[in-house]
Amino acid sequence: MAYFKYFNKISYDVRGSQDRLEIDTVTNILQRVRLRLDGIKYRSFFAQHIIHDGETPEYLAHQFYGDSELHWIILYAHQATNPYYDWPLKYHDLKKFVEKKYGEKTYDPHHYEDDEGYVVDEEYFDRDSMSWVPTPGTTAVTNFEYEEKLNDNKRQLMIIRQEFIGGIVKEFKMLLK
């Protein structure tokens, strides 16, 4: 089932000109649908999956549900509203993204962490010596490492188990009527 296939159609002026109307029937992609996931709110209704580099929602829908058209359920369960930014980037795309965002500062420190992973200041003021001294045990986290960690956090995925998919599709169709 293609995601937008069941959305309502509307008449729309495709030219946008007051003096030359050209009306066409288009899919109303602005229509909002919120599924009630009451029946699947418990962890037992999900399967945990780690998204590997290059896996797409379509690929996972085919693997888990046997139908790549159900990719929208994968995205919905992942709470992804923007598939480009809410889905983990491939390593190559992540490198390009970070280089574009930070430029020459890609490998400059983004922040500092202590041995336990807490963000700390690079230095602290020592009252005895009345000067700034390096914080012991701090490690610099580069801009690339920071963005890579954010990207890796998106790899944890809870996939709705196959036996609940029929009910979700049925509810989706009903909400769009």
Q: Using 50 as the pLDDT threshold, list the residues of the chain that sit under it.
A: none
Q: Which residues contact 155 (CB under 8 A, 6 or more apart)?
A: 50, 51, 52, 88
Write b or e for each residue in 118-147: b if 16 or more Cβ atoms lie within 10 A of its Cβ, otherwise e.
eebeeeeeeeeeeeeeeeeebeebbbbbeb
Contact 135, 124 (CB under 8 A): yes
Identify the DSSP state of 109: E
**Model pLDDT, residue 138:** 84
Q: pTM of the predicted model, to two decimals?
A: 0.72
- pLDDT tens figures, 103-133: 999 999 999 888 888 888 877 767 777 777 6
**Model pLDDT, residue 115:** 86
Name the 3-class secondary structure at 138: coil
